[in-house]
Amino acid sequence: MSFLRSTLTVKLMRDFWRLRSQAVAIALVIAAGVGTMVMAVGLIGSMSATRDTYYDQYRFADMFAPLVRAPETLMAKIRMLPGVAAADSRITTRATLDLPLVMEPVTARVHSLPAASPSALNRLVLRAGRYPNPRHPEEVVANEAFVRAAGLPLGARMKAVLYGKQVDLRLVGAVLSPEYVYALAPGQIFPDNRRSAVLWMDREPLAAALNLNQAFNDVVIRLSPGEGGKEVERRLDILLAPYGGAGAYPRAQQISDRFVTNEIDQLTTMATLMPPIFLLVAAFLLNIVLSRLVDTEREVIGLLKAFGFPVRAIMLHYIVLAILLSLGGLALGIALGAWLGRGMAGIYQNFFTFPFLRFRIDATAYLVALAATLVPVMLGAATAVWRAARLAPADAMRPEAPADYSGVAVTRLAAALGPDEPSRIIIRGLLRRPIRSVLAILGLAAATMLYVASMSPNGSMDRMIDLGFSRADRSDLAVAFAEPRDAHAFHELERIPGILNVQPFRTVGARIRSRHHEVRDGLVGVEQRGDLSRVVDIEGRTSEAPPVGVMLSGRTARILDVGVGDLVEALVTEGERPALRMRVTAILDSPFGGAATLDRAILNQAMREGDVLSGAYLQVDKAALPQVYARLKASPMIAGVTAREATLRTIGETIEENFSIQTYFYTGLAMLVVVGVIYNSARISLSERARDLASLRVLGFRRGEVAFILLGEQAVLVLVSLPFGIWAGIELWRFLIGQFNTELFTIPFFVDPRVPAQGVLVVAIAAAATAFLVRRRVDRLDLVRALKTRE
């Protein structure tokens, strides 16, 4: 038995060395799949662990409840609610900042500092400087991303408009907060850290500025372990309703946590969908290599069986060979995934402001990678191993019957399609091995598909930004008031020199219900025939707010399970808190948000208000922008200003900085697949047809003509695969969009025509590079050895 093992071991090593070039090509494809999987699984685990540890260590709240004003004595009742483990009150408001290095007004969210206690909720991570001294009411700390982006040194002074009052603030520290891992200003999808800030200051001066002494306007709650939160939310809403409660909501609806969770979900989709494509291609390559090996070793297998080698030992030999051919790809894939994962973790560290984000691969990721590699490898080797097992010694010792080239249909088709004899040889070769040709086409199509699907998000993001910021929002500035104002505020904006046009809007918070479905959303009152801000759907079509009823976003309509003509109830959470019954007169899918839209006059009438607005869109003379900014910064009624061009610039910088790396990553993966498929296919064809090609050389064909026959087959396979790959990539991206869309935004389906063209170019370059390697082998073909007939 030891002799058998040693003999097969020697043969195993010889076979592996003989197939080393194919092993490299297979390993590259496996490495692409394993690397993608390890990177995604590692990032999922690392981000989830970092998020959970961060939230737990700094006691991030499970529930939030904004309100207008309540006495501090109410907190005792809130803490007594069943299911509430801890609750803290705080003061929150919006402000605008005037910074010397930032031309535009900076929008800020201002919170009172958490108590200096380990049990306090939403505690801060001090990154630089110190916390404010209670003896100095002007001192504040700010989120670290804003401090860096705005270029503020510690000790810098800022002028702020805080609830209609101008105050001087001094920066004394930079902090991180679990509440602002992804710090977004209202109406944005990417953080604008230079023009959007989060500040914390001592509670007493903030309370004095807002007239909230011994009172609060926000509650954060930590739930008891195992508490679902629905009953706590219901009881809390009842308790806070007399004090202007806007409706409690869980952490899952908090904007920062939603973005982090959505990113983890998207990584899960990538880890589930992308690696199997690479690994199935690798299984196909392995099957071709082993099948060809079994065919060429028929006599060897027959001799082994004749000399008493058991069938299971021979089967195990080819199984172990398949594993050896894949182990290099597994090891390389793990190393590649770890390297890519660390790089992506650095990007995520900047994109999501965690205090730490260490990329770690636990044992589960290794086990998943091992199983994901071995399962398709075994499937790919199964056919060849079974063929080896079924070969009877007597049959195996006889030479294999030569291929039947007498097919009339193939011959006539080749003659019709091939203008010359080399071209007809190419076509006959492809048609006489239809299964292998089809599998090669599918493998090459997979490379094109991966590139097209992976690069299409850039075009769709550009399309979404164009819809949201060029077609829908055509204003120069959008201003939001600290609280709703009457028509006098509208006329004040019109009188500012340099402002050419003003379009008001009204927003109110509400809970929209239909039967047992409910969404926490906003009602937006817009102007009929407004030109600065328009309602645009995902296809770019412009719509008007309905003169009666309400227009729902497609996401909201699907959550509520309603259609046009159905009634919905909106429970307004501010003002007199009316309950509005409205008929759905239109449903529209828009890129951003899920607000319910109606005519501003109708909304004001339903709210039992006069001509009231929450803010306005402004068209401004570009030459007068500095003067307009100065007026808005000094205005006590302005709580926030958004500059469209600055927002677009920030989005462009964010995409360029954080997403350009994926271009190189997926281009490289697509090239790996192309190289693996073409090189293996060409090498196998060369080994099968070496005698035929050598015969052509002896008959007078030049090297270039012989190479044309071999490489022409691969070129035809590539050309045929491209349309299928482009179509599959487009459909894959259509599927992925459905997985990536959330209630926060809808990515429009769009494929930039340049992406398929780039995919064709990438595949062509990889195919040409592989053809060069194969051509060198054809040129060095040993004619004497190839023409020898095996006895």
| pLDDT per position as a tens digit, 290-320 | 776 676 666 677 767 776 777 777 777 778 8
**pLDDT of 791 over the 50 cut:** no
Under DSSP, the state recorded for 126 is: E
Locus of tokens 């408009």: 161
Q: What percent of the chain has pLDDT over 70?
A: 81
**pLDDT of 140 over the 90 cut:** yes
Structure-token pair, residue 681: 């296919």
Predicted TM-score (pTM) of the model is 0.80
What angle in degrees, to the nearest 10, is found between the helix axes of 754-779 and 434-466? 150
* Average pLDDT of the residues in 86-114: 89
Least confident of 67-71, 76-80, 180-184, 450-454: 450-454
Answer with the residue of higher pLDDT: 39 or 121. 121
Where residue 121 falls among pLDDT bands split at 50, 70, 90? very high
The predicted pLDDT at position 403 comes to 54
Residue spans of alpha helices (H) in 229-362: 230-240, 255-296, 298-306, 311-351
**pLDDT of 323 over the 90 cut:** no
CB atoms within 10 A of CB 207: 18
The predicted pLDDT at position 748 comes to 81
The predicted pLDDT at position 202 comes to 93
The predicted pLDDT at position 200 comes to 95
Q: Dump the DSSP string for 164-216.
A: TEEEEEEEEEEEE-GGGSS---TT-SS--TTTEEEEEE-HHHHHHHHT-TTEE
Q: How many CA atoms lie within 13 A of 701 on its CB side?
A: 18
Where residue 3 falls among pLDDT bands split at 50, 70, 90? very low
**pLDDT of 604 over the 50 cut:** yes
The predicted pLDDT at position 57 comes to 92
* Strand partners of residue 481: 638
- Please state, rounded to an integer, the average pLDDT across all residues of the chain: 80
**pLDDT of 693 over the 70 cut:** no
The predicted pLDDT at position 56 comes to 92
Least confident of 20-24, 237-241, 581-585: 20-24
Answer with the residue of higher pLDDT: 538 or 398. 538
Contact 581, 554 (CB under 8 A): no
**pLDDT of 55 over the 90 cut:** yes
Q: How many CA atoms lie within 13 A of 753 on its CB side?
A: 0
Contact 472, 536 (CB under 8 A): yes
The predicted pLDDT at position 749 comes to 82
**pLDDT of 94 over the 50 cut:** yes
The predicted pLDDT at position 111 comes to 94
**pLDDT of 215 over the 80 cut:** yes
Amino acid of residue 455: M
What is the distance between the alpha carbons of residues 403 and 396, in angstroms, rounded to a whole number? Answer: 16
* Average pLDDT of the residues in 726-741: 82
Answer with the residue of higher pLDDT: 380 or 605. 605
Q: Hey, is 715 helix, strand or coil?
A: helix
* Average pLDDT of the residues in 456-485: 82
Q: What is the pLDDT of residues 276-285, one digit of tens each?
A: 777 777 777 7
The predicted pLDDT at position 655 comes to 66
**pLDDT of 778 over the 70 cut:** no
Where residue 657 falls among pLDDT bands split at 50, 70, 90? low
The predicted pLDDT at position 359 comes to 81
* Average pLDDT of the residues in 492-507: 89
549-553, 591-595, 684-688 — which one is most confidently predicted on average?
Answer: 549-553
Where residue 434 falls among pLDDT bands split at 50, 70, 90? confident
What is the distance between the alpha carbons of residues 758 and 447, in angstroms, rounded to a whole number? Answer: 12
Give first-to-last CA distance, the chain, whole Å: 30
**pLDDT of 406 over the 60 cut:** no
Answer with the residue of higher pLDDT: 134 or 270. 134
Q: Buried (b) or exposed (e) across 433-449, using 16+ Cβ within 10 A?
A: beebbebbbbbbbbbbb
**pLDDT of 243 over the 80 cut:** yes
The predicted pLDDT at position 337 comes to 84
